[in-house]
Structure 1
Amino acid sequence: MKKMLFALLAISGTSMTMAADKPFTAEVLVGQATFEIDDFINDDDTSSIIRLAYEFADSWSAEAAFQNYGDVSTKIEDEGDTETYEYSTSAFTLGVKKTFALNDQFSLNARAGIALWEIESVERDEDGTSTATNSSNDLYYGVGLDYALTDSLSLSAEYTMIAAEDDSTDIDLSNIAVGVGYQF
C-alpha cells in the first residue's frame, strides 16, 4: 500500500506551482459505511464526514477529516444463551488528494493517507456487559468525482476504504458518500 501511495505521487509529475486563489476547502459528506470484521460481522450504517483541505500546489491538496462510520450490531443465540455485540467506529484521517480536471466543472480525484481509527465494542450476555476500545492506524485510499456548481461551491461523490488490522482481526471499512464542498 505504501508503494501504491508513492507511485501515485511519483506519476503525477506536477510541479510545485502556486495554489489556487481559494486554497481551502471545507466539505461535509453523508453516506453508507460497510463493516466487515473477519467472518463475524458484515453490516451497513449511515456515515458522516467532515473534511478540511488545503491546496498546496496545482491539483494537490493536503486533507484532514473526521469520519464517523456509524454503529452495527449482531446477535448470536446458542442453546438458549444470547450474546449481543455492538460496534461503533470512527477515524481521523490525514492524507493527500490529487485532482484530475476533466473540464471546467467535472474532476476526478484520488486520495490516500493514514487513518487513525477507533472501534468501541460492547458485548452483552446473561453474565453482564463488557466494553472495549481498540485503536490503531492503517492506510486509507479512495476515489471520487467532483462537480463545480460555482467557483466556490461543489458537489462530490466518493468511495473510500480502510483495510485495518487489530491483533489477529481483519477489519474492512468501506464508505460511499455524497457531499457538498465550499472553497475559500
Structure 2
Amino acid sequence: MKAIKIAALAAVLASTSALAETDKTGFYIGGALNQVKVSGDGDGSLDGIGFGAYGGYNFNEWFGLESNLFASGDLGEDGVDVGAGAWTFTPKFTVQFNDMFSGFAKVGLASMVVTVDSGLVDTDFTGTGFTWGLGLNAAVNEHLNIRLSYDRSSGDLDGDWADDLDTDISQIALGVHYQF
C-alpha cells in the first residue's frame, strides 16, 4: 500500500511538466496495480495486491463508457488460498479541472468471482452485482495518462458447494493508460 502511495505521488509530481494540449476523447486502454480488499457476510476481510486492465471510449470531455477487469493475488491465510476478481462495465462521468487534471465517477454492473481452496474443498463463488468508482486522472502528455482510483463492487455470489456469499470487493488502483 505504501509503495502505491509513493508511486502515485511521484507520478503526479513528474506529470506537472506536461504542457501540451491533451486528448480527452476517443478510445483508451491501460493497466493498473491494485490493493484489493474482499469482505463478506461479516467474516472480516482479506487484502492483498492485484492487477488489472481497463479501457473505454470517451464520447466527449465529460461522458464515456469504461470496462475494467481485475484479479487479486492470493489473499488467504493459514493454508487457505483465496482469490477475487471482477469484470465491470460502467458509464463514466468526468470533470476537467484544467488541461492536465480531471476527476471521474462511474457506476454500473459487475460480474464477480471469489475462489476458495482449503486443500480439502475447492469452491467458486460467482455472480453479478453493482459497482461504483471515483478517481483522479493526470495527463502526462498528449496521449499518456496516470490515474489513481477507488472501485467497489458488491453482490450476492452463489457457491458451488457452499451457501451464498454476500461479498464486497474494493480496490485502490494506480493505473497508466494510452489515449488514442
Quick one: which of 20, 29, 40 aligns to 2:32? 29
Q: Is the 8 A contact 1:47 1:69 kept in 2?
A: yes
Quick one: which of 154, 165, 172 aligns to 1:169? 165
What is the CA–CA distance in structure 2 between the aligned matches of 1:160 and 1:22, rounded to whole Å? 22
- The aligned residue for residue 138 of structure 1 is 129
The CA deviation string for residues 19-78 of structure 1, in whole angstroms up to 9 with x for no partner, is x68500112111201111223241211121101111124421111221113321134xxx
What is the CA–CA distance in structure 2 between the aligned matches of 1:105 and 1:21, rounded to whole Å? 10
What is the CA–CA distance in structure 1 between the aligned matches of 2:108 and 2:155, rounded to whole Å? 13
Asked if residue 45 in structure 1 is aligned to residue 48 in structure 2, the reply is: yes
Displaced runs of 4 or more, over 4 A: none
Q: Could you state the TM-score of these two structures normalised by the residue count of structure 1?
A: 0.76
What is the CA–CA distance in structure 2 between the aligned matches of 1:49 and 1:21, rounded to whole Å? 22
What is the CA–CA distance in structure 2 between the aligned matches of 1:37 and 1:86, rounded to whole Å? 16
Matches within 5 A, 1:104-183: 104-124=99-119, 129-166=120-157, 168-183=164-179
- In the TM superposition, residue 93 of structure 1 has moved relative to its aligned partner by 1.2
What is the aligned-residue identity percentage?
24
What is the CA–CA distance in structure 1 between the aligned matches of 2:168 and 2:73, rounded to whole Å? 14
What is the CA–CA distance in structure 1 between the aligned matches of 2:25 and 2:107, rounded to whole Å? 22
Specify the code of the residue in structure 1 equivalent to 2:86: A
Query: What RMSD, in angstroms, separates the aligned Cα atoms of the two structures?
Result: 1.8
Task: Name the structure with the higher strand share.
Answer: 1
Specify the code of the residue in structure 1 equivalent to 2:109: I
- The aligned residue for residue 7 of structure 1 is none
Asked if residue 63 in structure 1 is aligned to residue 66 in structure 2, the reply is: yes
| Count of aligned positions | 153
- Change in CA separation of 1:56 and 1:120 when aligned onto 2, cut-off 3 Å: same
In structure 2, the gaps of 5 or more residues are: 1-22, 159-163
What is the CA–CA distance in structure 2 between the aligned matches of 1:58 and 1:106, rounded to whole Å? 12
Q: Is the 8 A contact 1:41 1:74 kept in 2?
A: no
Specify the code of the residue in structure 2 equivalent to 1:130: V
Specify the code of the residue in structure 1 equivalent to 2:35: Q
- Change in CA separation of 1:35 and 1:85 when aligned onto 2, cut-off 3 Å: same
